[in-house]
Chain A
């Protein structure tokens, strides 16, 4: 009953327009952080806060979590309004969107050069948060890619781990066809509305939708053509994949045991391990684009970083939290790797114990070591500010390509749409 009354009173306070923030600011320092998955990045920040509190007992971290799309809406609306009321001290931003925010809202984020030693982080993560020689992020989780596959299904089709080392996409399709024929399992789940795979292929060869100076690099790019041709070939081999729509069905494909493999970012590990298939999974390097200069087995999908808002009242404390824990605590990175499966971008963390450990779920493979090796090989590219626009243009062509449409026509259409959109 008393609790109910307290609620009524709280509501009355809100209704009269006095914000709770104003009431609490007189007390100890509180750092407000926005993130989007309480079981993943939210949990890692909670761990960081606990470690920081040991040396700074007066500092507390207030985590507010939103859906990722919700967080982006909120941040964008508030930055656009020009009022800094209610903005957090630290916010998580997905890497693809970093340049967009930095360039659309100049002055909103705090450069951290001199406070963070960027030479200790994976170079591609640093580059994507850099504008005019100033770097704005504390690089967080990497989207380093790999090919997760079901060892038992592949074995049934007559393949071993060695058969997946150093292969091209053409070889991958051949293997997938055998797997389908011998076991009945589709090799992949593919969403024709998602262009993530094309991004993975492009970056594996060190290219992007745009040149480093921001011009479209689509029509006339040999790498783009090779990436799209390769993906079209995969899409046209309809028997090897299960068509899915949306995230739930996509992840449901392999967590239910139906789909035999998935090539994606390392952050998918937790999802794969949530299914009950210990000992049946393995990780192989990403297949490579054939005949393309600079093609590698390493790429990236997604990933995110922490940014400090310039308007923050607790700016120095927030930067210090990032520098002290996220910037150098190798032990912290072992902890979040084990607990959340989060692969950070601090290179020194790779020397820690947890990264060397083997995982029974993956048949005793030292998966983290593999991922951190690939992480160091990811070709850095400049995502630029129009990745989402280009992505939408590519996705619009995928159904046509799957039905045997011409790759050259698709490239022309994508190029035209991107040019129309980037003004």
Chain B
């Protein structure tokens, strides 16, 4: 490993190069984080709080809303992240082909959703999926269904709409990381493989994917964190409803902090549930990435 090669001068440089970031993070992240950690052991209303020990953790286990939010977040994570990662990879692979026409157009188009304003697209998504919206009209004309679906009024379909919305918004975003990474792959490897008669799908699986592994790992971890903190879409499209079917952990934290009687301690505790989940999931993701290397 690199460790053994590293000398004293490099040690020094290693610290110097990360020093600015470390100082800033130390001041503006570590203190607030310690504060919130301390808060997670406090109970009370607003600013009238006192030490409560593990009261907040006990409250978690007895809170039906928290359980619902945790379940919903888990569903979004398991269903949505894989779909999005695979789609983004496929788009990136297709758009990286130098013989493809209109590449610039397709790239820009697929990237557009993540810059389209949240306000605009949530109004549009709501109107498209309204009971008399264009999606229902289209499906009825095509005879895909007999009666209009109340997309946002039905717990199951509301989740589907949210998954569609996140995938729509973030696929192009993830694609950018893959496109950028594909430029760092040596073209001559592809040439050699092509001359050897390796088919395109095999080049993708055996050359592109392994070379992209660090970035795939990166996007998976980032998307996992993003989904665990999912807030914008549910807050703007469904407000967590109907029947709390799209209530996420992040929206619940928001409600506990700003909408409900402020319980900063309990909100902090729910935040640390997210941290814990990220810790476990990222560890697993790093482990999987390492295994494949061996």
Direct chain A–B contact by Cβ atoms under 8 Å: yes
Q: Which residues of A contact B (CB under 8 A)?
A: 69, 72-73, 76-77, 79-80, 82, 100, 103-106, 192-193, 242-246, 248-249, 385-386, 388-389, 392, 395-400, 402, 416-417, 420-423
Cα distance A389–B45 in the bound complex, in angstroms: 14
> Chain B's nearest CB lies how many Å from the CB of A210?
12
Closest to B236 in A: A246
The contact sample of 15 A-B pairs, CB cut-off 8 A, is: A69-B258, A72-B258, A103-B45, A106-B47, A193-B242, A243-B150, A244-B131, A245-B126, A245-B129, A248-B127, A249-B126, A249-B130, A388-B260, A392-B65, A399-B154
State how many residues of chain B have any CB contact under 8 Å with chain A: 38
Contacts of B262 in A (CB 8 A): 76, 80, 100, 104
Q: How far is the CB of B171 from chain A (nearest CB, A)?
A: 24
Residues of B participating in the A interface, judged by any CB pair closer than 8 Å: 43, 45-48, 59, 62-65, 123, 126-127, 129-132, 150, 152-155, 237-244, 255, 257-262, 264
* Chain A contact residues: helix, strand, loop or mixed: helix
Tally the A-B contacts, defined by beta carbons under 8 Å: 105
- Given A80-B46, A385-B261, are A423 and B239 neighbors across the interface (CB < 8 Å)? no
**B-side contacts of A249, CB under 8 Å:** 126-127, 130
Residues of A within 8 A of B257 (CB): 76
Whether A417 contacts B260 by the Cβ 8 Å rule is no
Known: A73-B258, A79-B46, A399-B243. 12 other contacts (CB 8 A): A79-B47, A80-B46, A105-B46, A245-B153, A246-B126, A396-B241, A398-B243, A399-B153, A399-B242, A417-B64, A420-B64, A421-B65
For the complex of A and B, the 9 pairs showing the least CB-CB separation, nearest first, are A104-B46, A193-B241, A245-B152, A399-B242, A243-B153, A399-B243, A396-B244, A192-B242, A73-B258
Distance between Cα atoms of A77 and B257 in the complex (Å): 9
Bound-complex Cα distance A104 to B48 (A): 7
**Complex contacts, A386 vs chain B, CB 8 Å:** 260-261
Chain A residues contacting B130 (CB-CB under 8 Å) are 244-245, 249
B261 partner, pick from A243, A389, A398, beta carbons under 8 A: A389
Given contacts A100-B261, A417-B64, A421-B63, contact A396 B243 (CB under 8 A): yes
What residue of chain B has the Cβ atom nearest to residue A101's Cβ? B46
Are B46 and A103 in touch, CB under 8 angstroms?
Answer: yes
Contact of A243 among B123, B131, B241 (CB under 8 A): B131
Smallest Cβ-Cβ distance to A385: which chain B residue: B261
Chain B residue contacts of A193, Cβ below 8 A: 238-242
User: Which single residue of chain A is at the shortest CB-CB distance from B46?
Assistant: A104
B63 touches A420 (CB 8 A): yes
A104–B64 CB distance below 8 A: no
- Write the nearest CB–CB distance from A40 to chain B, whole angstroms: 19
Whether A385 and B131, one on each chain, are in contact in the complex, defined by CB atoms closer than 8 angstroms, is: no
